[in-house]
């Protein structure tokens, strides 16, 4: 944990995907449970009791190899995936690029994963931890919508919650599901599935793109608030390069994503009138940035790229920092701070 600066030098010597595999293998042997708990951080969202609001975003533990080990690092929850119905290799390599000067990463992975069956078998041993499953569609699928419905049915018995990922920029045509007509069809299908299946009673969220136009965002929020969806994740990676000097293909995450994703978070909180819980993602690498997300409307926070650059100690730093920031502002619990900066 505390040797991460040295470990990081070693990891950054290798290709990012090799470094990721080294880290996953290391975590398989990490059994020590360590988590910061404080009454001010505990919250009940989606009917789930979170010991703290900081979670690991999808993309790290794609195949549910280390879901419990990740929680042991201090996270309040974790999200595995993205998982598709059938295994797929993803896009051609190289497809992950570190932008060290920007504390950012560009990836064009393309949902490389082991598929529902293998991942589902691993997830059966998630213990009592809160583990969400991020589901996607196969690149060669004839029907993206059907892939998502299959994922909801398949993972409902073992997931704590499900995230419908329709915002990755690395699967051609996937983001089209955010367009009003397509989005309405998807949400209506999910609504019908939930109403007709008594065993599907877990929270279902949708993860959206930070690149949506304001009109598309308003229409999406209007549909969400009238549906049986339980929340939104704001946001996925961006294809914008306005803040960096790099033209590699793929989604940009990390520090440059913070402002654009937080601005969208505020707008979604406003458009939904704070009626549904939001998870804030994008560029979180400090307690101050996590707190900014919370005050902008996030009930929970996720991070990934910040962990790459700062290491596991970041989790404790954020949670301890949040305790101090809440106390400073006179909040007894983190739920009291949600959306307080949204006009």
**What single string gives the DSSP state of each residue in 183-244?**
HHHHHHHHHHHHHH-TT--S-EEEEE-TT--HHHHHHHHHHHHTSS--EEEE---B---TTS
Residue 187 is encoded by which pair of tokens?
Answer: 């949400």
In this predicted structure, what is the pLDDT of residue 264? 98
The residue annotated as part of the active site, out of 19, 167, 168, 261, is 168
Report domain extents, the chain: 4-337
Residue 312 is encoded by which pair of tokens?
Answer: 């596991």
Alpha-carbon span 77 to 170, nearest angstrom: 25
In this predicted structure, what is the pLDDT of residue 199? 87
pTM for this model (two decimals): 0.97
Alpha-carbon span 240 to 237, nearest angstrom: 9
Known active-site residue 168:
yes
In this predicted structure, what is the pLDDT of residue 246? 83
Q: At 305, phi and psi to the nearest 5?
A: -60, -35
Fold of 4-337: TIM Barrel (3.20.20)
Alpha-carbon span 162 to 86, nearest angstrom: 18
Given a cut of 50, the residues of the chain with pLDDT beneath it are: none
Give per-residue pLDDT as tens, 141-163.
Answer: 999 999 999 999 999 999 999 99
In this predicted structure, what is the pLDDT of residue 2? 59
Mapped to the 3 state alphabet, what secondary structure does 116-180 carry? HHHHHHHHCCCCCCCEEEEECCCCCCCCHHHHHHHHHHHHCCCCCEEEEECCCCCCCCHHHHHCH
Alpha-carbon span 116 to 42, nearest angstrom: 32
Alpha-carbon span 163 to 159, nearest angstrom: 10
């Amino acid at each position: 944990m505390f040797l991460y600066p040295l470990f990081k030098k070693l990891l950054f010597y290798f290709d990012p995907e090799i470094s990721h595999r080294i880290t996953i293998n290391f975590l398989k042997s990490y059994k020590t449970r360590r988590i910061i708990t404080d009454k001010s951080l505990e919250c009940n969202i989606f009917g789930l009791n979170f010991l703290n609001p900081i979670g690991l975003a999808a993309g790290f533990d794609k195949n549910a190899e280390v879901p419990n080990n990740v929680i042991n690092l201090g996270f309040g929850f974790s999200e595995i995936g993205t998982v598709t119905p059938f295994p797929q290799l993803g896009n051609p390599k190289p497809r992950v690029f570190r932008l060290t000067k920007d504390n950012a990463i560009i990836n064009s992975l393309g949902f490389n994963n082991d598929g529902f069956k293998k991942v589902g078998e691993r997830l059966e041993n998630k213990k009592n931890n809160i583990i969400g499953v991020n589901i996607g569609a196969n690149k060669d699928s004839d029907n993206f919508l059907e892939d998502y419905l299959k994922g909801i049915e398949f993972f409902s018995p073992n997931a704590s919650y499900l995230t419908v990922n329709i915002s990755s920029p690395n699967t051609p045509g996937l983001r089209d599901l955010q367009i009003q007509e397509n989005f309405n069809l998807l949400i209506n299908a999910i609504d019908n599935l939930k109403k007709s299946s008594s065993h599907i009673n877990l929270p279902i969220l949708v993860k959206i793109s930070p690149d949506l136009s304001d009109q598309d965002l308003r229409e999406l929020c209007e549909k969400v608030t009238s549906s049986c969806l339980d929340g939104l994740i704001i946001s996925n990676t961006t294809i914008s390069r306005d803040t960096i000097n790099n033209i590699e293909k793929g989604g940009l995450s990390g520090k440059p994503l913070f402002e654009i994703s937080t601005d969208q978070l505020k707008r979604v909180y406003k458009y939904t009138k704070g009626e549904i819980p939001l998870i804030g993602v994008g560029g979180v690498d400090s307690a101050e940035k996590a707190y900014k997300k919370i005050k902008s409307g996030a009930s929970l926070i996720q991070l990934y790229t910040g962990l790459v650059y700062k290491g596991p100690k970041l989790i404790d730093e954020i949670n301890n920092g949040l305790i101090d920031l809440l106390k400073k502002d006179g909040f007894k619990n983190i739920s009291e701070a949600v959306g307080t900066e949204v006009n």
